[in-house]
Amino acid sequence: MGDLSLTIACGPYDRMEAIHRGEIRPEGIDATYVPIQSPPEIFARMVKGGAFDVAEMSLSHYLTLKTRGSFPFIALPVFPSRVFRHGFIFTNRNAGITTPKDLAGKRIGVQEYRQTAAVWIRGILTEHYGVDLGDVQWVEGGVNAPRREDDDMDIRPLGPLAIRAIGEDGTLNDMLASGEIDALIGARRPASLDECPDVIRLFPNYREAERDYFVETGIFPIMHTLVMPENLYRDRPWIAESLYKAFVASKNLALERMRFSGAMRYMTPWLFDDLDEIDALFGGDPFPYGVEANRVTLDAFARYLLDQRFVESPIPLDELFTPIIGWQE
């Protein structure tokens, strides 16, 4: 019998490159890697029609829907997308916002209230800066282009919340620049940050703030995981460990190649200084996989989902990821 053919849809990430190019092959699997730049496109195609066998998925979408019992997928403890988020809080300088607490009672734009990045930002602002978001007026819409509905996932908090959607032709970028909203949070940088002098970051020295946050908490926020249909996993549980080993090997090869000093692989002028910082802060691996290696980060995010009323009870994390038995990276 030949290898099992599987399609894997994920972003064109360096940590996935060796699998994409076939340099690393999951044991017993003939993998076809489908690189897609837009994560929402992957999410929508997986949820609407099961377009892939394995796919990148929003962590907030997955944990919320799985906990609510309405999501026929199970996640691998692989996290291909992580981003610090202090640098993704933007304000209009005329709104009187000089500290995080000044966000209370303001009009804050967000592409999707349910978005993983937004969940993280609200949680961090509340837990680490004491921000009261209870009377914020939330405004949903596209950031730099009008928003389009591209999935069937109805994920709203379980209690009442003041959220309004902007018109079909409007953008949060324009509203922030004009002062129609006071602030903007989420995964996208507004074009007005470069074009409008009134649009600024809440944390001008955001890299320093993010570094301090990591030193204090040990958290590098996870954005996405990988999922497969639960029936596929139940029928062939060996798939999970085979894929996990391959994803770890691919990531480790990317880290090794990034460290090659004979020539610059990436257009990052101070890459080697950054690598020194990665070694000092992250022990050489800023993207660990596995539930236990990410316990603090996953626990924090699960707590934020509960606090923000996306779920009614604590999330049983160990039940929502495929176990990887008898093998450690």
CA angle 290, 118, 221 (to 5 degrees): 25
Query: Residue length, the chain?
Result: 329
SS3 track for 53-115: CEEEEEHHHHHHHHHCCCCCEEEEEEEEEECCCHHHEEEEHHHCCCCHHHHCCCEEEECCCCC
Q: Which amino acid is at 280?
A: A
Query: Which two structure tokens, joined as six digits, stand for 152?
Result: 């069937």
Structural domains of the chain, with CATH: 4-82+221-320 (3.40.190.10), 86-217 (3.40.190.10)
**3-state DSSP helix/strand/coil percent for the chain, to nearest 5?**
40, 20, 40
The predicted model scores a pTM of 0.96
Rounded CA-CA distance 311/319 in Å is: 16
The segments of the chain whose pLDDT lies below 50 read: 326-329
